[in-house]
Structure 1
Amino acid sequence: MRSFYHFMMRYRGSHKNSEERRLADWMFEDHDFPKQSSSYDEVSRYFEWNSPFSGALRVFDHLWDVYEREEKE
């Protein structure tokens, strides 16, 4: 299973200015982000303590659902 970070890199640098892009760009720049993790608990705890912008947890929850669906395929 690939990490959530790896999944999120598809949104990085997108020409579309979206919250998904903001989150992916922030994850890329944050050297302490758990980049190898595929654990919801670990990643969500990190976001709870280090939320980069208002609404980031909502965006994360939505993208985690997408990530899980794709990883099950």
Structure 2
Amino acid sequence: MMKTFYQFLMTERNSGSFEPVEQFANNAFYDQSFPKQSVYYDEISEYLEENANYLPSMTIFDEAWQMYQDSNS
């Protein structure tokens, strides 16, 4: 069964880390509106571009998305 992107991202949480993907995961955890059930790049990307002021660069999302894809292959 394929995990949602959010489920994958939560495995990357590390509150003591300064790594960009881990910080993204930490911040997404507190984002009550994050599309938690989505497995679609475009849907999540659009949400982040419009709502995630905690994400300094979409490159971080792209890196996390690639890690997500790799974990599902």
TM-score, length of structure 2 as denominator length: 0.85
| C-alpha distance in 1 between matches for 2:28 and 2:56 | 15
Cα deviation digits, residues 20-69 of structure 1 (max 9, x gap): 121001111000000111111110101111232322x1111011111112
TM-score, length of structure 1 as denominator length: 0.85
1:24 partner letter: A
What is the RMSD computed on CA atoms of the aligned residues? 1.3
Note if contact 2:10-2:25 (Cα within 8 Å) is conserved in structure 1.
Answer: yes
Segments of structure 2 that go 5 or more residues without pairing to the other structure are: none
Note if contact 2:12-2:25 (Cα within 8 Å) is conserved in structure 1.
Answer: yes
Aligned length: 71
| C-alpha distance in 1 between matches for 2:26 and 2:5 | 14
Q: Give runs of ≥4 in structure 1 deviating > 4 Å.
A: none
- Between the aligned residues of both structures, percent identity stands at 37
